[in-house]
Amino acid sequence: MKKRANLSIALAAAGALVAFAAFAACGDDNAVKENVAKDSGTVDGQSPNVDGSGIPGSDGSIGPDGEIIDDCVAKPDPNVYTDLLNACTTSFKIDPHPTIPLLFPDGGLPPLP
Amino acid sequence: MRVTIPASVLLATTLLAREAHALPFCDDAAINPPLTNALVVQSGDTQEPMLRLMSQKLRNSAAQQTSLIYTTTGTCTIIANMYDSTKRFIAAGATLTYAPSTLENAAWDASQTPSQCIVNPAVWPTGIPIDIGIGATYNSSCTAAAPPADLGIFPGPIAGYGFIVPKASTQQTLTAEQGYFVFGFGNLGQATPWIDEHYIFTRLPTKSTALTLSANLGVTPITKLHGTAFNGSTEVLNSVAQSTNPEKTIGLMGTEIYDQNRDKVTELAFRAFGQRYAYLPDSSRTSFDKKNLRDGHYTPWAQTIYMTTIDAGTKLPTNPSAQLLIDLVVGNTSLADVDGLAVIVSKGLVPECAMKVKRDPIDAAPLKGYTPAAPCSCFFDAKVPGGKSSCTACVDNTPCGTGKCRHSFCEAQ
């Protein structure tokens, strides 16, 4: 059980690193930044940045295989887990920037006490 | 196994049960209509909003009058009871809940306090049999054992879970990494502002709310969960809503319960491991569309599991009323006066037919894309509180082109 829990944490941390590596350089004009007024993001399907591709939530370039657009995944039918988590959407979203002192510098998590 | 109880003990238990509660016995002929042939349900408490309304609908149904009476407890307790046929009972003297009929209280609605009755020890000395156990998360979170051969496992609607803060809190989000330290380290987590376990309100380890949310934070096993643990959702709700230190306060809550209490607490947007942004279960703070839960942007959810005794040959429920309830909540059937899908949608649950993702039956398992064989997304979008659907209304397939008319709307297939 302990080994399974540790493996889950390692996988989660690795996933987080991959995701942040992919998105680190991306700007984001759509998401609400933390510590701003509640409900100040997009509401009820009204997106301020629907681009010419007709895919809401994207406002940057399309990759060679038509997949990654800036800070969201623009595949028409995402199926892989990280693609689903980060698929372009018109939903209200927030860009969190929490302070987590015990997080390892590489984004990893220490074992639970 | 048959237990013989001395008559004197039975009489004493009966008198005590009636006097202690001043409630009618469940077999009291004055209950109108009587709770005869009742469908007895033991369920996780996140399902109570749905059960209240379903109980009312079925109790008043002219098409198939059914008395759904229920009690709530932890999902792991329910599983333990249902996996052991000698424990599939609710004890004599216990209190059960049901919706008053129109004959009893025509003005009653599901937001009001329901009726209660006592399991009569004289009638059910060893307890009243449980017809359906409803777990509010995957059985695998409670046991690695396979269910017994006489127990059917029927996947039900999807239940969301989330993190709540007081209205006065300025917090808007919780990331999985933050949650790992808040709920996994407690006072030692340093994840401000949630660094005091007196204000971190959780649930007991047998509860689906604790199991599903801790799994989504990587806080496993459940014994590692820190905070002040409560038995019921209402206790967490009240503790969070009335906290004297709002900024330090956070709690665990089923989405169905939160949806009924949005005026009292705020739900945090959640960012899963590997996710860029934080999302609510719904597309906005004011909607009930569960858009993000349904399409994979919001991960803390689990499938409810309906457990009932089945026939060894057909593998179908032995109790026709149990079969009816299961068919209603998954949308396999509806009565002329009971639309089961509409009931669950109105109470914050999501039928599988409205989902666009699924996961293996393990809490926090990775999501996969999903296309239901008989989708009901149009119906869902139209039926949620304040909902609307852009789909074409229909009574048959004629206006649906290559699509199909389902639940009065044209679906893609």
Listed in sequence order, the residues at least 6 apart from B250 whose beta carbon sits closer than 8 Å to its beta carbon are B163, B164, B165, B171, B174, B182, B194, B199, B200, B201, B240, B268
Asked whether the beta carbons of residue A102 and residue B191 sit closer than 8 angstroms, the reply is yes
pLDDT band at A30 (very low <50, low <70, confident <90, very high): low
Task: Tell me if B83 sits within 8 A of B143, measured CB to CB.
Answer: yes
Q: Which chain B residues are Cβ-neighbours of A23 within 8 angstroms? A: 276
- Pick B219's closest partner by Cβ from A16, A18, A112: A112
Q: Which chain A residues are Cβ-neighbours of B297 within 8 angstroms? A: 84-85, 87, 89, 91, 93
Rounded alpha-carbon distances, angstroms, from residue B256 to B136, B283, B373, B379: 11, 16, 26, 19
Is the sign of the CA dihedral B84, B122, B31, B65 positive or negative?
A: positive
Q: Which chain B residues are Cβ-neighbours of A12 within 8 angstroms? A: 176, 218, 273-274
Nearest to B153 by CA among B313, B38, B316, B44: B316
- Pick B368's closest partner by Cβ from A15, A79, A90: A79
* Dist CA B83 CA B60 (whole Å): 32
Length of chain B: 413
DSSP SS3 for B411: strand
Q: How many CA atoms lie within 13 A of B2 on its CB side?
A: 1
Residue B219 contacts A where some CB pair is shorter than 8 Å: yes
Please give the pLDDT value at position B266: 98
* Dist CA A8 CA A3 (whole Å): 9
Show pLDDT as tens, one digit a residue, over chain B (413 residues). Answer: 344 445 554 445 555 555 555 899 999 999 999 997 799 999 999 999 999 999 999 999 999 999 999 999 999 999 999 999 999 999 999 999 999 999 999 999 999 999 999 999 999 999 999 999 999 999 999 999 999 999 999 999 999 999 999 999 999 999 999 999 999 999 999 999 999 999 999 999 999 999 999 999 999 999 999 999 999 999 999 999 999 999 999 999 999 999 999 999 999 999 999 999 999 999 999 999 999 999 999 999 999 999 999 999 999 999 999 999 999 999 999 999 999 999 999 999 999 999 999 999 999 999 999 999 999 999 999 999 999 999 999 999 999 999 999 999 999 99
Strands B265-267 and B151-166: antiparallel
Transcribe B160-228 into DSSP letters: EEEEEEETT----EEEHHHHHHHHHHGGG---TT---GGGEEEE-TTSHHHHHHHHHHT--SGGG--SE
- Residue whose token pair is 């509806």: B334
The amino acid that residue B210 corresponds to is A
Asked whether the beta carbons of residue B274 and residue A78 sit closer than 8 angstroms, the reply is no
Asked whether the beta carbons of residue A42 and residue B284 sit closer than 8 angstroms, the reply is yes
Substitution target from A36, A77, A84, A88 for chain B, most B beta carbons within 10 A: A84
Q: Report B:165-184 residues touching A (Cβ under 8 A).
A: 170, 172-178, 180-181, 184
**Interchain CB contacts (distance < 8 Å): A and B:** 159
Residue B192 contacts A where some CB pair is shorter than 8 Å: yes
Give the single-character DSSP code of B392. P
Write down the pTM of the prediction: 0.85
* Dist CA B111 CA B52 (whole Å): 8
pLDDT band at A71 (very low <50, low <70, confident <90, very high): confident
The amino acid that residue A103 corresponds to is L
Q: What angle do CA B58, B64, B65 make, to 5 degrees?
A: 50
Secondary structure of chain A: what % helix, strand, coil (to 5)? Answer: 25, 10, 65
Residue B292 contacts A where some CB pair is shorter than 8 Å: yes
All structural domains of chain B, each given as residue ranges with its CATH number in brackets, are: 7-155+303-346 (no CATH), 159-298 (3.40.190.10), 373-413 (no CATH)
Q: What angle do CA B72, B253, B87 make, to 5 degrees?
A: 25
- Domains of chain A: which residue ranges? 28-95
Listed in sequence order, the residues at least 6 apart from B306 whose beta carbon sits closer than 8 Å to its beta carbon are B132, B133, B134, B153, B154, B155, B156, B325, B326, B329
DSSP SS3 for A43: strand
Asked whether the beta carbons of residue B274 and residue A15 sit closer than 8 angstroms, the reply is yes
Rounded alpha-carbon distances, angstroms, from residue B73 to B76, B113, B250, B320: 9, 18, 23, 24
Q: Which chain A residues are Cβ-neighbours of B219 within 8 angstroms? A: 112
Would the pLDDT of A4 be above 50?
Answer: no
Residue B260 contacts A where some CB pair is shorter than 8 Å: no
Asked whether the beta carbons of residue B297 and residue A89 sit closer than 8 angstroms, the reply is yes
B137 or A22, higher pLDDT: B137
* Dist CA A110 CA A98 (whole Å): 17
Substitution target from B142, B163, B177, B360 for chain A, most A beta carbons within 10 A: B177
DSSP SS3 for B159: strand
* Dist CA A88 CA B17 (whole Å): 58
Would the pLDDT of A85 be above 60?
Answer: yes
Q: Report B:223-242 residues touching A (Cβ under 8 A).
A: 224
Q: How many CA atoms lie within 13 A of B196 on its CB side?
A: 10
Rounded mean pLDDT of A61-78?
65
Asked whether the beta carbons of residue B276 and residue A44 sit closer than 8 angstroms, the reply is no
* Dist CA B361 CA B378 (whole Å): 26
Beta-bridged to residue B359, according to DSSP, are B367
Asked whether the beta carbons of residue B295 and residue A89 sit closer than 8 angstroms, the reply is yes
Please give the pLDDT value at position B212: 98
Q: Which chain A residues are Cβ-neighbours of B291 within 8 angstroms? A: 89, 91
Task: Tell me if B329 sits within 8 A of B344, measured CB to CB.
Answer: yes
Q: Write out B253-307 in H/E/C secondary structure.
A: EEHHHHHHCCCCEEECEEECCCCCCEECCCCCCCCCCCHHHHHCCCCCEEEEEEE
Structure token pair of residue B76: 């792991």
Please give the pLDDT value at position A38: 37
Secondary structure of chain B: what % helix, strand, coil (to 5)? Answer: 30, 25, 45
What is the chain A residue with the closest CA to B184? Answer: A112
The CA distance from A14 to the nearest CA of chain B, in Å, is 8
Please give the pLDDT value at position A16: 44
Beta-bridged to residue B267, according to DSSP, are B164
Please give the pLDDT value at position A5: 40
Asked whether the beta carbons of residue B181 and residue A93 sit closer than 8 angstroms, the reply is no
Substitution target from A38, A46, A81 for chain B, most B beta carbons within 10 A: A81
pLDDT band at A91 (very low <50, low <70, confident <90, very high): very high
The CA distance from A20 to the nearest CA of chain B, in Å, is 7
- Pick B276's closest partner by Cβ from A43, A81, A86: A86
